[in-house]
Amino acid sequence: MLGAIAGDVIGSVHEGAGTKTKHFPLFVPGCRYTDDTVLTVAVAERCLYGGDYVALYHRYFHLYPDAGYGESFFRWAASRSCVPYNSWGNGSAMRVSPIGTALDSFEDVLAEARASAEVTHNHPEGIRGAQAVAAAVFLARTACSKAEMRTCLEQHFGYNLSTPLDEIRPGYRFDVSCQGSVPQAIRAFLESADYEDAVRNAISLGGDADTMACIAGGIAEVFYGGVPETIRSAALAVLDDRLRRVTNQFLERFADRILGGVP
């Protein structure tokens, strides 16, 4: 979860910038948390204490109305709608990482990821993106190798996770769809050497940088056994007291599932 938040914060200044390099400072004065972080914390609260996804998303939106939501989610939450809007956008995938950490089986992870997605993103691609990211987090913390993870995810979700980033990067452009950003973000993790490298990989594609770094960072956190302390402390410092409190409660509750490290 903190890996997702840190990825969002680091990627926030690269969204729309078309960054095509891995060489950039991680934290600069403009770094901030976005809707990716706010809704990830909402999902973490559900994992900790239960609650209704619609009510949680509405509450967090109204607490943080200026976090940078997509237009469809903004209208949905601002009007307190309870009707999903058939989205295939990557908003369902950016917020789902706590589920891959908190749930106890692959089947439960898929069911809960669907539940977290379909209240807004009830399009099949929106659900598939959320399930794939949650599944990747679950596999990353349960002694799967990267090769095993890639095979499982490709077979289960039909994504191509085998194309190297060096082949993706030159022609890749900003894409907010699940099908056009989730596989690339997962690939950014698969090619990484450590947590920081996963985030740099995701941003270097020049796409929806904060969301892709959020996705790759959430997977990398549990695979590599946490977030490096310098990145951890810098990311937590950006959060307000409410977001930081829920984040720390989640990290404490599930510490044994996050700190296992590379199989």
Rounded-to-integer distance, Cα 31 and Cα 15, Å: 11
Q: pLDDT tens digits, residue range 174-211?
A: 999 999 999 999 999 999 999 999 999 999 999 999 99
pTM for this predicted structure = 0.96
Q: Which residues of 56-72 are buried (b: 16+ CB within 10 A; e: fewer)?
A: bbbbbbeebeebbbbee
Burial class of residue 9, CB neighbours in 10 A (0-12, 13-18, 19+): buried
Q: pLDDT tens digits, residue range 5-38?
A: 999 999 999 998 999 999 999 999 999 999 999 9
Rounded-to-integer distance, Cα 133 and Cα 237, Å: 26
Q: Which CATH number is 2-255's, of 1.10.4080.10, 3.40.50.1970, 3.30.70.120, 3.40.50.980?
A: 1.10.4080.10
